[in-house]
Structure 1
């Protein structure tokens, strides 16, 4: 595969910025997606379901599709995701990419991340047809809002939440178009289906090994005013879309990496009220890591602010939220201790 070219070699402003070129479109660990929060603060959680893996198939290079079967499954809308508990106990989140009208099955797809944390490898190597798997959800933090016009941008496995959106946009009669980009056509899942739904007049496919990087300025050159833009893909792609977004358009994204550490982070104290202990969280340490030194059985999974397993109730102190999961009501008195911190010098947790 050719190496990523520099901005200067790609005709300057017409293509992605240098900052957006740091990673290849398909190389970024796009999945898992954000997940359902654990009700450690007493909130009800979605009912767990046990479903049967009825079909497992490789649908593109490094991508497997899973069909999980049950009866009268909870309804979902485009953009929703499902929390899947793997046999090892790892919890991962994947977008639903099937038909919302089908109440007998949930369809997921995931790419193998070679340097990931093990979830995708377990899906690819350990899951077999006939296995019984526990799921929670669906939950939707990337809902398709009503609009007269849409622009969809999908990078690699980021097509999974977008695919049901295409069907919904087409059914609504709205003006819409899609840019689908990836490392190669062979690595791009659901490409045939996207081509069938969109047709050549609405679809731009950019395979890196054929044409380099996508021309985002061309995509937005004649976009309808106040269009809703939905982007799923690696961070550089979403950053690049934000930079060229026309005035009046609204950008909807879902970020798949945790907030980076901030220069100037300081140490602070965390009181564990029920345990009667106080721990110091170092400037370069997570609350989770500090708490587990005292309470090693504290639950966690993703360590990136996505899955909600480490959500804890906050009794006192101001929270520096750095997750992409909690809704406003939850942020008032709870936090994900794997990524979020204190704004002041002290927090009190119900632990």
Structure 2
């Protein structure tokens, strides 16, 4: 069997100072060899762009290794196996793997997860609601923040891939009040009219502390933090005694060139006996089966609303990534590289 193709891929060309720009990346065409033993050749159908990838552009120690200059970027992707030297992943299999940012990927079978198509859902669902963002929302809310029915929840970045799910999970499990922050009137309507949030505010409209007090006058029990900075400070102010914070992300700081400043009201965490806990989704893989069962049920019943922002073509991956960091997406941002197989 000979399957040799050329594949376009996106490489990191420069490390950014502040906000990334398109010239930090380059498009390169390479030859893709046929798979060897234990490998599969995958035609990528869709790839993910995620906030955590901004940190991978920096050459600093972190939980995810930095992208290397003049080497292809990588990240989540779903594709179809078109050639296989791994019996467990025959030709035609749909797989989730970590070699996105390219059209074709030569993937070790041990680093690919075979996934089954879900009726009515695109393959990109395994990059969103059924994938890493969904499990992040589920683990952060239920295991890290230990949410219980009857509690009030505040989610920042609530119209994004993780936030839009965390708020809905809280509502579906009996939250007394779900409040979200977002960056535009259209996103606020999305939160309240489509996702069922009880209240939402635009963080551009004033001090976040004041906006949160107005949206949750009786305080909050749980804060799901995707933003950090001023949002975290506001949440500490509004949290009730024994409140909990799931520290998922800090997108407000990712492009900053200034030294970050801690919330000025950290002393409140002592008297309120608050718990602030950072987490990585990779530490909660034991929840995957429970998570997918619960989420599939909510999707089947129509109780869970999913929105994706889809752009087409590998040449649009960099603009999509930069746009996502600037808040251009509602729900999960994905890049479609090829149609789903019929």
TM-score by length of 1: 0.34
TM-score, normalized by length of structure 2?
0.35
More helix by share: 2
